[in-house]
Amino acid sequence: MTGPLPIGSAKVVLLAVHFATQADLDSLSSLTAQHATVLRQDLVLRILLSHLPETIKPDLYVPFVQALVTDEPETQPQPQPNRTLDTTAVDALTNDQASKKVKKLRLVQLSSHDEVPEEETDSLTSFLLLRGYRMDEEAGMLSQLPGLLTPFLQHSPTIQTWLVSTVLPLLRRNHEYYPQKLARYSLLEFRNLPDRLAVEYLLAETGTSEDGYSLLGRDFRGLIGPWLYNNSRWMQESVNDSSGEPSAEATLSCPGWEQALEWLVLQASRSWEVALGTIEQWDGPEDIDLIDNVNMWFQEPQQRYLDRSYAQAALASAYQIPNATVDALEGAYKICIKITSLMDQDCDATLQAAASALSPVPPFDDCSFSGAKTATYMRNDLLSASNTLTVPNRGTTSLLIALVLSAFLLTRTGVAYTVRRAGDLAFLQDAREQKSELTKLIRAVSGHPSRKDDAYWVRARKEILWLHNWGAPSDPKVAGSVRGVFGKVSSEYIEMEILKALLSCSRYVLAQSLYEDAEEGILSATDIQSTVQSSALAAFDNASNPNRSRGGLKKCNEIIKAFPKTVGKDLPVAKRIEALLKATHALSDYRLVLKQGEPFSPVVLRVHSDPISIIERVLEQNAKAYTRLQEFLELGNNMVNAGLPTSNQPGKGLSLETGQDADRSTTERRIVAMCIEAALREDDFETAYSYVVNRMGTSSTMTGEGYDDEWSWKAAMDAGKSARSETSQKPTHLGTASGNPEIRHLEQRIECLATALRIAPPNQLQEILKTFRRCEEQLDFAIKEEAAKEDAWDAAGDLRNLPGAFDGPDPDKAYPPRNITASAAARQADESPMSLFDLSRATARVASKNLNALSSLQGIAQGTTQDPAQPQSAEEDDQDNHRVRKRDQLREAATGTLVSGVSWLIGANVNRTANDGQQ
């Protein structure tokens, strides 16, 4: 057994330094054991700190340090007395030299370093801290620090706090979680970062790549959570109460934690998957990953603060998600689920389930959620304790869930919505905005692929109604409080919009069962009627084909018949639309192009300022269409019945009934005129003529307001002016008229002109009369010529009666067969042509005859009466007198107009007389 080395204490110190430098811990250990009085604990720690290379793994010297600092003798390292220590390093030195060297050693001090907190005077703690920082700085051995520190956790709370709140987060961040990232802070740099920057650094790589999305929770659990276990990172602002005493409820805060929450909310607005992933993967501030055998707890107020602020940040995140997609909203809902479960509330397991259940949202306690202020809470001060939307409680979570579900229902249907937008709609309570959004939603439902499925509609309606009031009728007690994103729109309006959509998608049976058969009478009959009307017209306006058995018109037809109990056939609305359909359908038979190359579409009929003029286009574009006068008259009649603007004098204080009747006859006259003009255009004088004689003059064109018919007289006059041509249509029958086509044509023209005279306004009479007289002269001439020819024929003795005379008169034949012989006609034509004086005499006669009907004017008329009882039948049965009768008829026809145009009779005399005098 050898005793302690017989050397001086200076040499012992130098030898210890030597062993430390060599990392020869066995020798150091023996030396320490042998010279415990020289090599005291602090000195050895300083020697280790100063000279043991930082690269040495802590396992190699931790047992020595443990032994060194342990007071109990039995754990003292066994001195190894028989060990022969190699003292050659100091052998050559004298004791004086050794003492001088020791003085120059400059061993590191254990206190008053930046690295060591002021209050930590314990030398082991200082040693560990200093050693730790050095290992990181000099050797990059951060990852070895737990090996150095864990054996001493029991020794000092400072070490534990340091390991957990500083070393561990940085170690994980730099070496375990994101080892590939090169820009790193050292331990010392990290420690010196202000709290917010430290947290920002910890989260800098979190969620930056999609591969990392599954590791978001890990980062909060492993980085942020541990970092919080350092009371220096917490602040306690004592809030003075009124007495000036610090109140018991001090306001805690932790800026670094707030930074983390702000990060979370920011992620929600940038990439919601990161926010969602974090919230889903992390079970909140109680879910923290420390290291084995370390248990740490927050103080009760700290835990409360963490839980509450975390929930608030999660709620705020849900409001921040900017993506209006089903996925994003499902994400927002998952956030709600997570938070409610952390808060021990429950809600439906999935958004889909919530959307199926559509449970009523429990009413909110007060009006704190209404108004523009609430809308700003979705944007500002999200994490502030005064934010009534995000402060977690039962009301705010159920409100958020309602908004998420609302946005989801809208988005799923096709109207993209974020939570915040749904919030704006609900909070701002702008009825116009809500209506316009409702319209979009219903349009989306109508355009949905399942729109032909009644079940889909039932579902969609339920959802829309839920969006109206969140499943519960509003409580009048809390008027103005938030209720549904369509809360400001009346339920009648909503139901009417739904009904319209149902009709536009041809869900007639469903519409009927919902709105007509339902017991509760969701909509009044008037509401249904007006909705049906607008829907029918919408379908009509959307139609492209005027055929009522196709497309839009078919739909229009179906719609007005969809509610037989509420919208019966006799309802004026139904009648009008039926007339409209008939009118439109009538046009479907014709080629009809209104503008350049654009085929007629039904809506044109409704918006046209003068729909009757469309008939004119039909007549122009369809040869021979004018022959279908009756159809056109019916069409016009239907236009009137449909309430289209057919009259040029709308209103005029007439009752609807009378107005329509007047309108109807005006329209009829106009159509007749159109057909006449069309016939003339197509050189079909015969048809024009027959329309003039059969269709005109049956009723007066005078109304209380004056002439409302600028067409009839003109058509009649045009017919009267129409000269015969080679291509003229041949008459199809002769009737009792003259067999000579020339004569017959002139006679017919005179008839037309006579009709024109009767119905024309006074200022046109001159013109017509001129034509009339010219025509009359031509007729006289023709008759005389005919008579001459006939006499010549008679003289030739070749008078025959040809069979089949009436079937096919040939105008080119010199002597066509006829019923009335030209000679008979000529005999009667001995009289001079009817002059204007005759005409006016006859006029006066006829006028007086009919004036009885116009008693108020009788006095005036009587003044001009010569023979009121002029017999008309005296020579009636005499066939030879046919022509006379004819002329009388013409006169009567011509003067008939005077009966109706009494004003002319009275007022125009001056002008007429003057003109007559000249001629």
Ligand X SMILES: *[C@@H]1O[C@H](CO)[C@@H](O)[C@H](O)[C@H]1NC(C)=O
Residue 191 interacting with ligand X (CB under 6 A) = yes
Smallest gap from Cβ 187 to ligand X, in A, equals: 10
Residue placing its CB nearer to ligand X in the complex, 43 or 193: 193
Show contacts with ligand X in window 808-847 (CB under 6 A): 819
User: By three-state DSSP, how is residue 599 classified?
Assistant: strand
Sketch the per residue contact string, 96 through 135, with ligand X: x for CB under 6 A, - otherwise.
----------------------------------------
User: By three-state DSSP, how is residue 486 classified?
Assistant: coil
Sketch the per residue contact string, 382 through 421, with ligand X: x for CB under 6 A, - otherwise.
----------------------------------------
User: By three-state DSSP, how is residue 53 classified?
Assistant: coil
Residue 622 interacting with ligand X (CB under 6 A) = no
Residue placing its CB nearer to ligand X in the complex, 438 or 671: 438
Write the burial class of residue 703 (CB in 10 Å: 0-12 exposed, 13-18 middle, 19+ buried).
Answer: middle
Smallest gap from Cβ 234 to ligand X, in A, equals: 9
Pick the binder of ligand X from 151, 301, 322, 414 (CB under 6 A).
322
- Smallest CA-to-CA distance from 699 within 902, 900, 904 is with 900
Residue placing its CB nearer to ligand X in the complex, 163 or 629: 163
DSSP letter assigned to residue 878: -
Residue placing its CB nearer to ligand X in the complex, 80 or 359: 80
User: Which residue in the block uniquely carries the two structure tokens 């045009």?
Assistant: 718
Show contacts with ligand X in window 534-593 (CB under 6 A): 539, 542, 544, 551
User: By three-state DSSP, how is residue 18 classified?
Assistant: helix
Residue placing its CB nearer to ligand X in the complex, 368 or 601: 601
Q: What is the 3-state secondary structure (H, E, C) of 529-542?
A: HHHHHHHHHHHHHH
**What are the distances in angstroms from CA 763 to CA 224, 696, 713, 769?**
101, 20, 12, 11
Smallest gap from Cβ 259 to ligand X, in A, equals: 12
Residues 163 and 291: beta-carbon distance below 8 Å = yes
Residue 317 interacting with ligand X (CB under 6 A) = no
**Residue 180: how many CA atoms within 13 Å on its side-chain side?**
1
Smallest gap from Cβ 170 to ligand X, in A, equals: 11
What are the backbone angles phi and psi of residue 656, rounded to the nearest 5°?
Answer: -55, -45
Residue placing its CB nearer to ligand X in the complex, 233 or 440: 233
Residue placing its CB nearer to ligand X in the complex, 238 or 384: 238
Residue type at position 645: P
Pick the binder of ligand X from 214, 240, 356, 376 (CB under 6 A).
240
- Secondary element (H or E) of residue 263: helix 255-270
Smallest gap from Cβ 233 to ligand X, in A, equals: 5
Residue 195 interacting with ligand X (CB under 6 A) = yes
d(CA 729, CA 741): 11
Residues 256 and 201: beta-carbon distance below 8 Å = no
Residue placing its CB nearer to ligand X in the complex, 30 or 647: 30
Residue placing its CB nearer to ligand X in the complex, 88 or 801: 801
Smallest gap from Cβ 548 to ligand X, in A, equals: 15
d(CA 491, CA 502): 16
Q: Which window, 37-45, 465-473, 723-731, 904-912, contacts ligand X (CB under 6 A)?
A: 904-912
Residue placing its CB nearer to ligand X in the complex, 44 or 441: 441
Smallest gap from Cβ 387 to ligand X, in A, equals: 22
Smallest gap from Cβ 511 to ligand X, in A, equals: 14
Residue 693 interacting with ligand X (CB under 6 A) = no
**Residue 67: how many CA atoms within 13 Å on its side-chain side?**
19
Q: Which window, 140-148, 752-760, 770-778, 906-914, contacts ligand X (CB under 6 A)?
A: 906-914
Smallest gap from Cβ 309 to ligand X, in A, equals: 19
Residue 78 interacting with ligand X (CB under 6 A) = no
d(CA 11, CA 8): 5
Residue placing its CB nearer to ligand X in the complex, 436 or 544: 544
Smallest gap from Cβ 658 to ligand X, in A, equals: 29
Pick the binder of ligand X from 609, 725, 736, 919 (CB under 6 A).
736
CA quadruple 904, 909, 915, 919: dihedral, nearest 10: 110
- Smallest CA-to-CA distance from 412 within 399, 423, 422 is with 422
Smallest gap from Cβ 556 to ligand X, in A, equals: 9
Q: Give the number of other Cβ atoms within 10 Å of residue 346's Cβ.
A: 9
Residue 747 interacting with ligand X (CB under 6 A) = no
- Secondary element (H or E) of residue 702: strand 702-703
Residue placing its CB nearer to ligand X in the complex, 271 or 778: 271
Residue 230 interacting with ligand X (CB under 6 A) = yes
Residue placing its CB nearer to ligand X in the complex, 70 or 819: 819
Residue placing its CB nearer to ligand X in the complex, 233 or 721: 233
d(CA 115, CA 183): 22
E-only strand ranges, 312-385: none
- Smallest CA-to-CA distance from 34 within 89, 77, 97 is with 77
Smallest gap from Cβ 78 to ligand X, in A, equals: 9
Smallest gap from Cβ 824 to ligand X, in A, equals: 10
Residue 761 interacting with ligand X (CB under 6 A) = no
Show contacts with ligand X in window 41-60 (CB under 6 A): none
Pick the binder of ligand X from 82, 596, 855, 866 (CB under 6 A).
82
Residue 244 interacting with ligand X (CB under 6 A) = yes
Q: Which window, 89-97, 148-156, 226-234, 569-577, contacts ligand X (CB under 6 A)?
A: 226-234
Residue type at position 187: L
Residues 397 and 336: beta-carbon distance below 8 Å = yes
Pick the binder of ligand X from 762, 764, 784, 884 (CB under 6 A).
762
Pick the binder of ligand X from 63, 911, 915, 916 (CB under 6 A).
911
Show contacts with ligand X in window 248-267 (CB under 6 A): none
d(CA 448, CA 412): 10
Per the rule left: phi > 0, alpha: psi between -120 and 50, beta: everything else, 480 is left
Smallest gap from Cβ 277 to ligand X, in A, equals: 12
What are the backbone angles phi and psi of residue 867, rounded to the nearest 5°?
Answer: -140, 90
**What are the distances in angstroms from CA 60 to CA 12, 55, 871?**
22, 11, 152
Provide the CA 355 distance to its chain's centre, in angstroms: 21
Residue placing its CB nearer to ligand X in the complex, 239 or 656: 239
- Smallest CA-to-CA distance from 235 within 213, 254, 214, 207 is with 254
Number of residues interacting with ligand X: please give it, by CB under 6 A: 28
- Smallest CA-to-CA distance from 421 within 378, 365, 455, 372 is with 378
Residue placing its CB nearer to ligand X in the complex, 99 or 911: 911
- Smallest CA-to-CA distance from 166 within 137, 188, 143 is with 188
Q: List the alpha helices (DSSP H) in 57-122.
A: 58-69, 88-91, 95-103
Six-digit token string for 637: 């009649």
The total number of residues written for the chain in this structure: 919
Show contacts with ligand X in window 147-166 (CB under 6 A): 158, 161-162, 165-166
Pairing assessment for the beta strands 235-237 and 598-599 based on DSSP bridges? unpaired
Smallest gap from Cβ 191 to ligand X, in A, equals: 5
Query: Which residues contribute to the site for ligand X (CB under 6 A)?
Result: 82, 158, 161-162, 165-166, 191, 195, 230, 232-233, 240, 244, 271, 322-323, 504, 539, 542, 544, 551, 736, 762, 819, 907-908, 910-911
